[in-house]
Chains A and B, each alone.
Chain A
């Protein structure tokens, strides 16, 4: 039996996850494990991680988010972080967390379009 800490929705071959609440480090690690597991289990080609309901993203949470995206890519899928709150974005930049290499979008709808573009690019040449 595995512990699911977040609800994962599957729409077509895309997984949608909405993070919320105040996350401690253990929960963040459990989410990381669950999401990588879900991508492998479902064979999804994309994942959107919606963080619009996170009012605080500190360096640890940001680092794990980046790690999840990297792991999902290793599994042959694409992942994007969507809905970063403006105050959180400002804070992350001043904190010095590098998230420039992450694919991000304003909201889930734009995230889906982004994943579509990434998938198309994927079939052509490899991402750098």
Chain B
């Protein structure tokens, strides 16, 4: 298990439905990053990755909506932040392509998924055409 065990603290769960939620996602991630004492660079990377993934939901998911869950995790004495982004959208038919720099079905830069993956320690993407997409990212304290 690479994503670690959740700690006792309650996860923050909310819907991502419009642009104001981009800011909410960044705020929650910042607060959790500070709480587990990620350094500034790691916190910035986590928040930026979250911002990219939340925007993906607003752009690609059916109804332009999805959910985020953020929680603190612990593995071998190290603390971290885990964020789960889920939607019931069209899913990703070709996950390998979606994780390639510059791939976009929408005329964007195509950096969202591959870029987010580079910014975190673990990223797991689960998806299939027609069955939604779930992306889990984890950032560990150093």
Q: B-contacting residues of A (Cβ < 8 Å)?
A: 22, 24-26, 55-60, 63, 85-88, 90-91, 94-97
Contact = CB atoms under 8 A, between A and B. Distances in A.
A95 B19 contact: no
B41 A96 contact: no
Interface string B34-54: 000000110111011001100
Interface of chain B: mostly helix, strand, loop or mixed: helix
A26 B40 CA distance: 27
B41 A87 contact: yes
A91 to B, nearest CB: 5
Interface residues of B, number: 27
B136 to A, nearest CB: 19
Nearest to A21: B23
A95 to B, nearest CB: 4
A56 B119 contact: no
A95 B23 contact: no
B44 A25 contact: no
Contact of B44 (A24, A55, A59, A60): A55
B55 A96 contact: no
Interface of B: 19-20, 22-23, 26-27, 30, 40-41, 43-45, 47-48, 51-52, 55, 101, 108-109, 111-112, 114-116, 118-119
Nearest to A27: B19
Given A91-B119, A94-B118, 13 more contacts: A22-B26, A24-B19, A24-B20, A25-B22, A56-B51, A59-B108, A59-B111, A63-B109, A86-B41, A90-B44, A90-B45, A95-B116, A96-B118
Contact of B114 (A24, A60, A85, A96): A96
A1 to B, nearest CB: 23
